[in-house]
Amino acid sequence: MSLIVKICGLSTRETLDVALEAGADMVGFVFFPPSPRHLSLETALELGKLAKRRASKVALTVDADDATLANIVEALQPDILQLHGSETVARLRDIKQKFALPVMKAIAVATPADLASLPGYAAVADRILFDARAPREATRPGGLGAVFDWRVLENLDLKLPFLVSGGLDAGNVAEAIRVTRAGGVDVSSGVESLPGHKDPEMIRAFIGAARAIDSSSPLPGGERSPAHSAGG
């Protein structure tokens, strides 16, 4: 199976076009007011039409209630819902049942202990996204450019498709894929010139770098660990 490349936090026609033309498999749209990438429903309607059938549309929400989700689904008509908050397993099940859409659950990772919740979520979710755990003082759970130690996922035995996120960019995505053996990668701040402002050349460079990697190849001896190579 080929690598899934997701560009998240898109908010303009220009950058969405670039992501689609460069070959993104998933395009993510953020519906969370504290984020600099937050979209209005009107913009979501416009961008959703542009992306239709060209890539999977992902709606990112954080502990959204049913009314908010209903408005987002109506405007964007997403292919998958990304739940990036503290949603419980029961809440995932309710959302899947109510909206009849696949769900991708984001799990914040800093240490192996953070994987304790994985079995419960994996029993309900259609995909898992491993993201760096946000600092306690952060106002949002992701899109912060932080990297976690990918070696936490090295021996992961997960039958469900999963993506890795958190501080990825064109320079470190190869190592992230090789260490985690992830079936997909997700980038937001790593293709931005400023928070919330996607850079077309950075988008192209990231997708090109991800596509150049054979995810089945072993991690070469002597490669640096993520903590030493990824910056943030």
Beta-bridged to residue 7, according to DSSP, are: 27, 187
The label of the residue with tokens 């001896």 reads 221
Instruction: Given the residues 17, 25, 65, 131, select the one marked as catalytic.
Output: 131
- Which whole-number Å values give the CA distances from 22 to 16, 26, 31, 61, 187, in the listed order? 10, 12, 24, 25, 14
First to last CA, the chain: 29
Q: Is 169 a catalytic residue?
A: no
Give counts: helices (H), strands (E), the chain.
Answer: 8, 10
> DSSP readout, 124-155?
T-SEEEEEEPPPTT-SSSS-S-----GGGGTT
Q: Is 131 a catalytic residue?
A: yes
The label of the residue with tokens 């306690």 reads 136
Residues belonging to the active site = 8, 131
